């Protein structure tokens, strides 16, 4: 038997990146999400699945600092002490949202500056982070456009001149260029054709693996969850009804709702 030299691995990380405790969010009488708790460790990719209206986007917005939960806490541990992201000042939370983690929106228009060039969209994030050297910013922006398979000659075009799939890839470059440790994605392949989806998924899979990113991905597509995620959380009516390793949850679902969900598709 060969001796395996393992790379620095997640099991050795001393603490979770994100600790969620009893997070709830209500819209008046209606439950958005209720009593959600979990931990996310560096490099882990968590999927959130469930039917329309089950609270996936609501939960993601609470985790990503966009919507303040009505109860519970969201602790983020960058370097140093864990930080309750809703107890820090608004300005500090905004800074974290731009630098420590990234958000990929389902609709690229929500994540891109439509009136700024492709290169500008990517470069802007480096400037937010404090980079000032113009030549280096341009070079990194070009490098990232190439990584998401956008030709360098399109650098000065505006996003509105791009197809939906290209806009989505540009949004991903804009989010990843600042090297966040954690990325939130809400239906990242949502509005795209199947063939465009496959390409984007492959890109995401490789980036997540090569960068050792932790990610939380909301999707209604179990095949996407199977391909991209390590762990899965199943939501129904705002509650988490089942969670575990992705292949466990999909292959040996225990909850009635998860069994319904997995039997509704031909093969995942």
Partner 1 sequence: MTTMIHVENVAKTFTLHNQGGVRLPVFDAVNFSVAAGEALVLAGASGAGKSSLLRILYGNYRPTSGHIHITHAGRAIDIVAAVPRTVLDIRRRTLGFVSQFLRVIPRVSALDIVRDPVLARGMSPEQATARAQAMLARLNLPERLWNLAPATFSGGEQQRVNIARSFVDPSPIMLIDEPTASLDATNRDVVVELIAEARQNGAAIVGIFHDEAVRSQVATRYLDITDFRKAA
Q: How far is the CB of 146 from partner 1 (least distance, A)?
A: 17
**Residue 87 contact, options Mg ion, ligand ATP, partner 1, none, Cβ 5-8 Å cut-off depending on partner type:** none
Q: Which of 7, 12, 30, 115 binds ligand ATP (CB under 6 A)?
A: 30
**Whole-number Cα distances in Å, 158 to 39, 117, 122, 194, 196:** 39, 4, 12, 25, 20
Told to check if 246 binds ligand ATP by CB under 6 A, we report no
Q: In this complex, which beta carbon is closest to ligand ATP, that of residue 124 or of residue 221?
A: 221
Beta-carbon contacts of 111 under 8 Å, excluding residues fewer than 6 positions away, are 103, 104, 105, 171, 174, 175
Helix or strand run (H / E) with residue 27 = strand 18-27
Q: Which among 47-55, 124-132, 170-178, 195-203 is the span making contact with ligand ATP, rule CB under 6 A?
A: 47-55
Q: Interface with Mg ion by CB under 5 A: which residues?
A: 57
31's tokens: 């439950």
- Show the CA angle centred on residue 153, arms to residues 152 and 154, nearest 5°: 90
Q: Which of 7, 8, 27, 80 binds ligand ATP (CB under 6 A)?
A: 27
**Whole-number Cα distances in Å, 262 to 3, 86, 210, 231:** 39, 36, 30, 15
Q: Which of 77, 98, 199, 220 binds ligand ATP (CB under 6 A)?
A: 220
Told to check if 56 binds ligand ATP by CB under 6 A, we report yes
H-type alpha helices, the chain? 56-63, 90-99, 108-111, 118-128, 134-147, 164-176, 194-211, 222-228, 246-251, 256-263
Q: HSE (CB half, 13 Å, CA atoms) of 30?
A: 7
Q: How far is the CB of 17 from ligand ATP (least distance, A)?
A: 23
**Residue 220 contact, options Mg ion, ligand ATP, partner 1, none, Cβ 5-8 Å cut-off depending on partner type:** ligand ATP
Q: How far is the CB of 240 from partner 1 (least distance, A)?
A: 14
Q: Which of 24, 54, 229, 258 binds ligand ATP (CB under 6 A)?
A: 54
Q: In this complex, which beta carbon is closest to ligand ATP, that of residue 2 or of residue 52?
A: 52
Q: How far is the CB of 24 from partner 1 (least distance, A)?
A: 24
Phi, psi of 247 (to 5 degrees): -70, -30
**Distance, CA of 47 to CA of 246 (rounded, Å):** 8
Which of 52, 30, 70 is closest to 61 using CA atoms?
Answer: 70
Q: Interface with partner 1 by CB under 8 A: which residues?
A: 1-2, 4-7, 9-11, 41, 44, 198-199, 201-202, 205, 227, 230-231, 244-245, 247-248, 251-252, 254-256, 259-260, 263
Q: Which among 56-64, 83-91, 133-141, 195-203 is the span making contact with ligand ATP, rule CB under 6 A?
A: 56-64
Helix or strand run (H / E) with residue 46 = strand 45-50
Binding site for ligand ATP (CB under 6 A): 27, 30, 32, 50, 52-58, 220, 251-252
């Amino acid at each position: 038997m060969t001796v395996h030299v393992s790379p620095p691995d997640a099991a050795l990380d001393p603490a979770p990146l994100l600790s969620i405790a009893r997070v709830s969010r209500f819209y008046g009488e209606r439950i958005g999400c209720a009593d959600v708790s979990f931990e996310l460790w560096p490099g882990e990719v968590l999927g959130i699945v469930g039917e329309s209206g089950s609270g996936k986007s609501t939960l993601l917005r609470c985790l990503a600092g966009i919507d303040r939960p009505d109860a519970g806490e969201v602790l983020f541990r960058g370097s140093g002490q864990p930080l309750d992201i809703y107890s820090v000042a608004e300005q500090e939370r905004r800074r974290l949202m731009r630098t420590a983690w990234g958000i990929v929106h389902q609709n690229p228009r929500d994540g891109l500056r439509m009136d700024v060039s492709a290169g500008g969209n990517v470069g802007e994030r480096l400037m937010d982070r404090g980079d000032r050297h113009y030549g280096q910013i341009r070079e990194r922006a070009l490098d990232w456009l190439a990584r998401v398979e956008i030709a360098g000659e399109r650098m000065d075009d505006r996003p509105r001149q791009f197809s939906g799939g290209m806009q989505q890839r540009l949004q991903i470059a804009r989010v990843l260029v600042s090297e966040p440790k954690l990325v939130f994605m809400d239906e990242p392949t949502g509005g795209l054709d199947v063939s465009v989806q496959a390409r984007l998924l492959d890109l995401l899979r490789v980036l997540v693996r090569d960068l050792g990113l932790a990610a939380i991905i909301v999707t209604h597509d179990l095949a996407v969850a199977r391909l991209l995620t390590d762990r899965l959380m199943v939501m129904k009516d705002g509650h988490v009804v089942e969670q575990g390793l992705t292949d466990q949850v999909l292959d040996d679902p225990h909850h009635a709702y998860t069994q319904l969900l997995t039997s509704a598709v031909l093969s995942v």
